[in-house]
Structure 1
Amino acid sequence: METVSIVLFLLLAVVVSGAFARMLPFSIPTPLVQIVLGAAIGLSTSHGVELDPELFLFLFLPPLLFLDGWRIPKDELLKDASTVVELALGLVLMTVVGMGFFIHWMIPAMPLAVAFALAAVVSPTDPIAVSAIAARVPIPKRMMHILEGESLLNDASGLVCLRFAVAAALTGTFSAGEAALSFAWVALGGLATGVIVTIAATRAKAWVTKRWGEDTGSQILVSLLIPFGSYLLAEHMHASGILAAVSAGVTMTFAEISRQALAVTRMRRNSVWDMVQFTLNGIIFVLLGEQLPSILAGAKQTVALTGHAAPWWLGVYVLAIVAGLAALRFIWVWASLKFTILRKAKKGDGFQSPDWRLVAATSFAGVRGAITLAGVLTLPLVLNDGTPFPARDLAIFLAAGVIVVSLVLASVALPMLLKGLTMPAEPAKQAEEDNARIATAEAAIQAIERHQHALATDKVDADIYAEAGGQVMNLYRERVEGLSGKQSDESRAGDRLLREFRLVGVRAERAAVLKLVRTRRIGSETAKKLTRELDLSETRYHG
């Protein structure tokens, strides 16, 4: 019962923190508010949350990584694939090696393997935290796509590196050759497992749906189970469950294209996954704050491991690690952009040198968040011989400090760097969208005409079918004329006004439905149906 109460209390804290973040007159990232609220909870109660590292990793990471892989724009990811790979793989490896040696040099009491483990957990970035920070100063779309793609891959690469570092700390040995072979199996096995599980699950789901119909609740539940199934199967095969969850999410996009679910299923499933993402990310940051008092309480004992007596040395180490991460990221981003310019120049493509603020903004956007915390909390409690894992509390303290400091720095620096920043021009997507809408409208007109003829041959009242079909086809013909350039400026302005008047009408209908409910002139079921129709209409007209 106590566990259930703690879970419910954490969920309430996530809701309250989101409300506080919106109420504040100045912009503070929601993750920071959640950390502060979690710290207040930790200070005000004697019942601390004891986290099981393996359970924590299993509950939080698979669904979050699966959703990242599912929702990331694939075309944009492929367009900037080279940049994303350079950041997600090259930068992570350089960070693990460079920061690992740097941390070990700075804190000799921390074993080299543990230093590499700490470097591995602070290498992944968190785009959700960046989005929250830049809520009032929107990040350019292409930059955000790069950050999302980087985060998707560096989550996996950083946590795979963490796995090898922990194994080295547990066994006390490390072989580069064995690590390379093991990495190949861990990576390829994890990726293949995610793909196979997703394809098998979606095909089985489509087979059942085709024969016995679609149940929305079951469809949503299957999508929730896929990341956990992929993770467990991969881990059972000693492959990477993290990469399995990522590849399962990416595969889900393509599997859904060929096996479409009902519209109501997609809408409800999106809502469920939005809730899952909001809840899990919120709980992770609240838990970070809740753990901070106990981490700080042990600061004196923790700093003793470093050979110092004053706890403020821990702050110095945190700032040094943040500075090292920022410097490595700035150098890597600058070098990556320079190589991109050289490649473009050799091909004869015009490519302007980027504004220094773009490099700086991309560097500061490397905020650490949920994945870093989830990763560091999975450090084992004991070694294979039963002795305590060396410098575990110190690693957790430094990782938590890096998360908080990077959030604060980015919340201050990003808005200033992004304000007025212009990104290189991107090809407009409007023509592509218009062509797609024209093609779908023409296909609809042809289908309606065929259906008209089929009904007319079987029925006597052919005029009724012709009139009904003509009314619907006129709507599609208006779309084709409007998007193919045949519409005048006055007509386009009229369409905008028509959309505006439709929204006014929808809002009036909504108010009328509310009044009917309050006066008990309609029942809740009717009100629910009408409200859903109005929601769909309002979404359509807003688009």
Structure 2
Amino acid sequence: MDEVLLLTIILAAVVLANILARHVTKIPLPFFLIFLGTLLAGLPVYKNFHLDPSTFALAIIAPMLFNEAQNSSRLWIGRSISNILSLAVGLVLVSVLIVGTGLHLIYPVLPIALAFSLLAIVTPTDASAVNSIFEANPIAEEQAGILQHESLFNDAAGIVLFDMALTAFISGTFSMELAVWTFLWEFLGGLLFGSAIGVVIVSARLFLIRYNDDTPLIMVLIQLLTPFLVYLLAEKMAFSGILAVVAAGLVQGSERDKLRLTSSRMQLVTSNVWEIVSGMLSGTVFVLLGLSLPEVITAMHVSANPNFGVYRLIALGLFIYFLKGIIRLVWTRYLLKRRVKTNHEWRDSMVMALSGANGTITLSLAFSMPNMVNGQPFAFRGTVNLLGGGCHPDEFDYAHHFRAAVVAKSGTKPAAVPLGATDDSGSYQ
């Protein structure tokens, strides 16, 4: 009963935050969510509140990525697949290895496996965050398409790397051969398994349509259950549940034309339901973040360990995001294929580097860090989550970092890109 009460209060906070954001438009919605979460932290029912990481991955990350995948453009993915995979897999791997190694060298107290876990947390870009930037500051269509669909695949790649690095830390052993095999098994196996299950589910829905059993209750519930079913089955097979969910979502989207045989009313209901679910899940993440802040601030200020000092960790966080941004800038300048050659390739690359916004998936991964390791409290949980931009009762005030990210992403990019400065070929004039 207590869990039901806690969830009800969190959802009520999400509703109130959305109402406030509609009337106070100058303040971003996440700040209202974080603020209300901070207020909820004072309630007795939320004392010592913790969320199980495995539950978080299943209940929040899986449906969010499924919805993101089913709304993706298969046409854009096909046209830009090499660039998307270059950013989503190649750049992620290189960033994790280079920045993670550099972080370990300048901050040796952090084990290298956890340094890699941290970089896996901050590598995913978020489609919602990227879209919100484009709404205020339009960029070239080709670049926008690449960035939006990059976020879908590097979410999955980052999550797989995060799981591998964290497993290496907990077990205390690492084998390159085993790591490569595990990555391929989880990555490729997850994609193939998710695609197969997705085809089966879509076929079942088409069968129901054929026999007029396509009522909103039946069809919407099947779609809502799909990410949970796919995730759980994939995890049982030792595949990446997240990648399987992404693949199933892509299959669902690719079959959308066939599913349009259903009534327009059913399509409208489905669209509205997923809009509500997506907003509810995203809002819940930020409310949970706000719930963490009071204990975070207290814990960080009373820490006697100089290695976990607030200012040192902030400096390390700036180092991570600066070096990651430089690598992204160089990668987009020299390793992406361009359909149209321009005289301002550095500016285009700067746009893509600055548009690699982090969002809800980064926060979700931060919440997925375990509370206990080998039966002992995870001493580095707060450090990793602070540097990664996440937050928990052992962590630091993420609001400052989020505020800085909003300013940096919304303020620096317009200076590099005039509004609407695109030509007919999709490149900047």
TM-score for both structures, normalised by structure 2: 0.89
The aligned residue for residue 189 of structure 2 is 189
Aligned ranges 1:108-507 → 2 under 5 Å: 108-211=108-211, 213-259=213-259, 260-300=261-301, 304=305, 307=307, 310-337=309-336, 340=337, 351-354=341-344, 356-384=346-374, 386-400=375-389, 401=398, 403=402, 405-420=404-419, 422-426=421-425
The aligned residue for residue 105 of structure 1 is 105
Q: How far 1:169 moved relative to its partner? A: 0.6
Q: How far 1:303 moved relative to its partner? A: 7.3
Higher alpha-carbon deviation: 15-24 or 80-89: 15-24
Q: How far 1:234 moved relative to its partner? A: 0.4
Counterparts of 1:40 and 1:407, CA distance in 2: 23
CA contact (8 A) 1:110 1:390 kept: no
Counterpart code for 1:186 = E
Mark the CA change 1:25 to 1:226 in structure 2 (over 3 Å): closer, same or farther: closer
CA contact (8 A) 1:303 1:394 kept: no
Q: How far 1:355 moved relative to its partner? A: 5.2
Q: Deviations over 1:242-265 (max 9, x none)?
A: 100000000012233334333221
CA contact (8 A) 1:383 1:389 kept: yes
SS of alignment partner, residue 380 of structure 1: coil
SS of alignment partner, residue 298 of structure 1: helix
SS of alignment partner, residue 385 of structure 2: helix
Counterpart code for 2:359 = G
Q: How far 1:354 moved relative to its partner? A: 3.3
CA contact (8 A) 1:367 1:403 kept: no
The aligned residue for residue 490 of structure 1 is none
CA contact (8 A) 1:303 1:311 kept: no
Mark the CA change 1:257 to 1:420 in structure 2 (over 3 Å): closer, same or farther: closer
Q: Deviations over 1:39-92 (max 9, x none)?
A: 344357672431111101110111111111111111122222222111111111
The aligned residue for residue 5 of structure 1 is 5
CA contact (8 A) 2:351 2:413 kept: yes
CA contact (8 A) 1:295 1:397 kept: no
Q: How far 1:129 moved relative to its partner? A: 1.9
Counterparts of 1:217 and 1:45, CA distance in 2: 38
CA contact (8 A) 1:56 1:378 kept: yes
CA contact (8 A) 2:120 2:162 kept: yes
Q: How far 1:285 moved relative to its partner? A: 1.7
Q: How far 1:214 moved relative to its partner? A: 2.1
Mark the CA change 1:251 to 1:302 in structure 2 (over 3 Å): closer, same or farther: farther
CA contact (8 A) 1:380 1:389 kept: yes
SS of alignment partner, residue 174 of structure 1: coil
Mark the CA change 1:33 to 1:407 in structure 2 (over 3 Å): closer, same or farther: farther
Q: Deviations over 1:2-42 (max 9, x none)?
A: 3223222222222332333333363x433344334433443
Superposition RMSD on alpha carbons, in Å? 2.4
Q: Deviations over 1:88-125 (max 9, x none)?
A: 11111111111211221232111111111111111101
CA contact (8 A) 1:29 1:132 kept: no
Counterparts of 1:253 and 1:276, CA distance in 2: 17
Q: Give unpaired runs (5+ residues) of structure 2.
A: 390-397
Counterparts of 1:324 and 1:57, CA distance in 2: 28
The aligned residue for residue 531 of structure 1 is none
Q: How far 1:299 moved relative to its partner? A: 0.9
Q: How far 1:140 moved relative to its partner? A: 4.2
Counterparts of 1:144 and 1:17, CA distance in 2: 29
Q: Give unpaired runs (5+ residues) of structure 1.
A: 345-349, 428-543
CA contact (8 A) 2:99 2:324 kept: yes
Instruction: Please say if 1:59 is aligned against 2:59.
Output: yes
Task: Count how many residue pairs are aligned between Structure 1 and Structure 2.
Answer: 414
Counterparts of 1:146 and 1:403, CA distance in 2: 24
SS of alignment partner, residue 307 of structure 1: helix
TM-score for both structures, normalised by structure 1: 0.71
Mark the CA change 1:16 to 1:173 in structure 2 (over 3 Å): closer, same or farther: same
Mark the CA change 1:174 to 1:423 in structure 2 (over 3 Å): closer, same or farther: farther
SS of alignment partner, residue 379 of structure 1: coil
The aligned residue for residue 94 of structure 1 is 94
- Give identity over the alignment, percent: 30
Mark the CA change 1:38 to 1:103 in structure 2 (over 3 Å): closer, same or farther: farther
| Structure of greater Rg | 1
Q: How far 1:424 moved relative to its partner? A: 4.5
CA contact (8 A) 2:127 2:149 kept: no
Q: Deviations over 1:136-185 (max 9, x none)?
A: 33444433321211100000000000010011011111111111112121
Counterpart code for 1:336 = L
Counterparts of 1:217 and 1:85, CA distance in 2: 37
Higher alpha-carbon deviation: 184-193 or 202-211: 202-211
CA contact (8 A) 1:62 1:228 kept: yes
Q: How far 1:133 moved relative to its partner? A: 4.1
The aligned residue for residue 491 of structure 1 is none
Counterparts of 1:361 and 1:15, CA distance in 2: 34
Counterparts of 2:29 and 2:347, CA distance in 1: 25
Q: Deviations over 1:404-438 (max 9, x none)?
A: 543342132234434335234248xxxxxxxxxxx
Counterpart code for 1:262 = S
Counterpart code for 2:317 = V
CA contact (8 A) 2:40 2:46 kept: no
